[in-house]
Amino acid sequence: MEEFNKIHVGMDYDEVCKIIGSDGELQSQSSNIKIYAWDGDGSIGANASITFINDKVESKAQSGLK
């Protein structure tokens, strides 16, 4: 959750990976939109999902992170 809170709109993918410490798994892609997911610590299935538009963070969501 600490890493998740450091991620802000406008950051690029490399900045996000540096904060999290690993590459994300590409979940979906269409033209200029990419959605990546990372597994997280917390409850079973804990994860973070980040939407990039034109390679910049547009939105983020998490479930079960602690």
Predicted TM-score (pTM) of this structure: 0.92
Question: How wide is the angle at C-alpha 14 spanned by C-alphas 12 and 19, nearest 5°?
Answer: 100
Q: How many secondary structure helices (H) and strands (E) does the chain include? A: 2, 4
Domains of the chain are: 2-65 (3.30.1450.10)
Can you name the residues that pair with 26 across neighbouring β-strands?
A: 36
Nearest 10 degrees: CA dihedral of 39, 41, 42, 48? Answer: -40
Query: One-letter amino acid identity for 11?
Result: M
Digit-coded pLDDT (tens) for 1-53: 999 999 999 999 999 999 999 999 999 999 999 999 999 988 889 999 999 99
